Structure 1
């Protein structure tokens, strides 16, 4: 089985606190390390009451400080929100503190709404400069030149590995052109997955970081002792998606027995499209569907999202997934 990794959003549960969410993310990193997961990444999201990973580099440090061997990184930093120089300083600091364990995934979406983008003091047109910003960041993370007047300290010479993340053909093309590993966000936007992977592999140009294409694919997996239990646990994530369509901002809700009592047929259709790259079930179901996913995508690595309300059941889900993958 190919390597498995984890994408963490630091979700705040109804009845829990923001500190609980951050500490549970750290506990998940420790659990994942013991189970043999390759990496745990956190995603930059802003102005979301139920997500605690906005200060992404700080959350990475919190998880990395509680672990020893698992790679920890950003999945991803939304680069148009930041000066590349500042990100080089932040991730150079992380690499200095936790050498050989830091990843830096980069996306060009804002990770928020237009009103919050203004609060971030960012221009929406910054996304047009994404390719140039990636190259600038890469240069700041490279060894400093003799006459280089602006140096990221720490950062220069750290050569933190960069990834291009996305859910469209643009990211696939850029990752191929720059010779960088590529992560596709099929856990919430799977529509262009097959075409994006094909373009990435066909157009890939070898680079100093990567001699050949390396594709990471996101997939939702909710695992439990039985298929029926997993289907109930999955309703927390399904309600979250229905709330997005309604413009509601709620904390993560406890699961319910029948999701069709919560969402409308239209919401079910919308969520079904966004969550179509999902596996829900027992160990045997998960094993079979993981194998089908790998056969379809030929992915080099899977990044698992297991969005479950109960922290202990979430830890158990990752145990079942790891066992199924063996």
Structure 2
């Protein structure tokens, strides 16, 4: 990072977000270096004091120390400001789920095979003994014993019914991937989908009370995190919809990403929309995003709602300035 304004402007262009870089800067005003001696004169060793300090953080441009000394000698400079700068790849920053140690960077569900009809795991689609009927006039074939082993809801249902079919309240677009998953442990999100699909899919998973639902939920969580950063344009309203999914279904990584995005791009809108006196059910948007008990969750140290508000405030009060966040 250059200490000269003209050079810094050139660097700023080079570090433009379009080049895939994120630059964090943080200023520090020097007040502890002894620039004046006891006679209120500029210390002749100011070069040494400053050089020792700057050596820890940056290369010193040629002629800088002379200009710095002369400025203090002529009393045209009263303070020294050091800017710390960290430059990192945009990809590393806005795609945390791809970090090797990130909990979502693990393959939990195998994707659908190309030749599903030749894979024995999908034989149930041809030879089944049970039918799940959906309200949109579609049905899904299944094997009753697999449903019994995989779903707590179906176990309870089989105790009360001897029928070979079940009428389900959820639509076929979310029922089909769930039934395929519990028979084959294969799952993948559609190439295109909206947040309504995600919400309905997760509600259907919750409805069936799947034995190993954590794996399929991790796959959904990672997919929606990818969707957040791959959206062609994210406005404040769309980010709130992602945040709503995160809060409702306990997706902490998605919550973290939404909070960072809000803090760095939409903080003013956030403050205007959710001031302290509007964080209650009377604010319909607050209720929509954080649920009917969102105001109660603000008092719960373990809730994602409180985590979100605290994370945004922490980012504003303590984080570095940055030229881009998830942009």
**Coarse TM-score class (shorter-chain normalised):** under 0.3
Task: State TM-score, norm by structure 2.
Answer: 0.22
Task: Give the number of the structure whose residues are more often helix, by fraction.
Answer: 2
Larger Rg: 2
